[in-house]
Structures are given as C-alpha cells and as structure tokens.
C-alpha cells in the first residue's frame, strides 16, 4: 500500500494529517479518492457522496482538532473518507460486511464518529445539541454539521436551523450542494417559492437590487457575486435543479 499511497499509508489518525504541509494536501486528496474507488470497486459501498467531499473531509480534519472538535456527516455515507483518515483505513475493505465496519458513522466504532447518522437530516439538530451542551460546560469546542445529498429537504433539518438561529453556540453548518436531484422536488414550500421567484413584483425588485449591488461592487467586495451564489444555493436546495 505504501507504494500506491505514499502519504495516505502514513495517516493513521488526523494528528498525522495535521503534520503535513498544506502544499501536500492536494496529493492526500488524490490518494484518498483513489483509495475509496479501489476498495469500493471490489466491495459493496455507496461511495458517490464520499467522493464529492474528499477535499472537504481533508480540510476539516486538518483545520479542526478532531476528535475534540466534532464533525457530523449527513448523509452518513458521505463519511468514507472520514473513516479512512480516522484509523479505519486498513479495515475499510470490510465496509458494510458482516462483522466489518459500518457504512455510516457509528459512535461505538470510533470516538471520531460524533453521532450515528444514517440517511438522513439529523445532523443540524444533533450538532446543535452537542454545541449547546459544550457551551454550558464551558468547553471551547467547534461542532460542524456537514449536510447534503438531499438531506436539507427534510423537516428535521429546518427544525434544526430554526433552533440554531437563536442559540448562541459554536456551531458551523456546511451545505454540500451537489446540484443533483433524482426526481423533481415537490411540496407546498417548493410551489410557494416558485410562485415568488416567477412573479413580476419579485423580479422587478430583484433587478433594482442587482443594479444597487453593481454600484457597491465597484467600490469594494463583489456583492453581486456573493448574492448570485446565495441565490443559486437556495434555489438548488428548494426548487427544481
């Protein structure tokens, strides 16, 4: 393994990752992605979401002091790279097999698995609970919820966001939007927002704001770029892709 994965073969936990130079991290990402593909190609696994968050996985474990800082993956099958970097590399071939490692984060399997997420939408509420408890205990702990692959469409995710908005806690929510939907989004919320975004009043106001942001962008940060990214993120989460 050391020949095929010269960096990854020496990462037994995130502390090893954090010893590397930032310039080496792209190579780690390439090795991690190839390792996942190599193993899952001959063993069962749902690896698409995990391939999409390879860079994010490496960045989070490099930037934060895990396992003291907590990362919750949602959907749970985004966590393959996380498992490999947190001491389960040599067991990854047993993923989803009898007596092997779980295909999802499992608290009894590793101290790095902060919550037993499956499929899906529990991460924000769980992370908020951990963050609030840490604050009450006087702990300077960062709690991160990585939510994506359709998990933002469930009611529990919106409930978590609603509560997180008023809780003064050290919580970071990362939306991993892969811009993919198997089926057309449905529901009253989708229809309501679609009606708004296609109305004449909304689009007239949008044009006026866009004009103002253009003037602001000439004098400072690109406000138009930020607004466009925010709009795209909201639309792709709730409306048709």
Q: Which residues of 74-100 are buried (b: 16+ CB within 10 A; e: fewer)?
A: bbbbbbbbbbbbbbbbeebeebeeeee
Q: Is residue 79 part of a domain?
A: yes
Domain boundary pick from 161, 178, 195: 178
Q: Same domain, yes or no, for 85 and 31?
A: yes
pTM here is 0.79
What's the rounded Cα separation, in Å, for the pair 223 and 235?
Answer: 18
Tens place of pLDDT per residue across the chain (241 aa): 667 899 999 999 999 999 999 999 999 999 999 999 999 988 877 778 889 999 999 999 999 999 999 999 999 889 999 999 999 999 999 998 999 999 999 999 999 999 998 878 999 999 999 999 999 999 999 999 999 878 888 889 999 999 999 998 999 999 988 776 667 777 887 787 777 767 777 677 777 777 777 766 565 556 666 666 666 655 555 454 4
What's the rounded Cα separation, in Å, for the pair 77 and 83?
Answer: 10
Domain that holds residue 205: 184-241
Q: Same domain, yes or no, for 37 and 113?
A: yes
What's the rounded Cα separation, in Å, for the pair 141 and 64?
Answer: 10
């Amino acid at each position: 393994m050391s020949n095929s994965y010269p960096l990854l073969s020496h990462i037994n936990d995130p502390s090893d990752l954090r010893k590397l130079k930032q310039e080496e991290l792209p190579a780690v990402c390439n090795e991690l992605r190839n390792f996942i593909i190599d193993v899952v190609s001959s063993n069962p696994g749902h690896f698409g979401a995990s391939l999409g968050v390879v860079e994010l996985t490496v960045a989070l474990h490099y930037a934060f002091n895990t396992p003291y800082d907590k990362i919750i993956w949602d959907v749970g099958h985004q966590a393959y790279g996380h498992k490999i970097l947190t001491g389960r590399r040599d067991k990854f071939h047993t993923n989803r097999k009898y007596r092997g490692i779980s295909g999802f984060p499992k608290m009894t399997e590793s101290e790095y698995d902060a919550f037993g997420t499956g499929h899906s939408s529990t991460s924000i509420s769980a992370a908020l609970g951990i963050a609030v408890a840490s604050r009450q205990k006087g702990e300077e702990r960062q709690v991160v919820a990585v939510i994506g692959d359709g998990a933002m469409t469930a009611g529990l995710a919106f409930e978590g966001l609603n509560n997180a908005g008023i809780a003064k806690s050290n919580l970071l929510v990362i939306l991993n939007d892969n811009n993919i939907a198997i089926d057309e989004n449905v529901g009253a919320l989708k229809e309501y927002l679609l009606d708004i975004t296609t109305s004449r009043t909304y689009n007239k106001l949008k044009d006026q704001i866009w004009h103002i942001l253009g003037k602001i962008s000439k004098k400072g940060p690109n406000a138009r770029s930020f607004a466009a990214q925010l709009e795209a993120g909201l639309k792709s989460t709730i409306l048709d892709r």
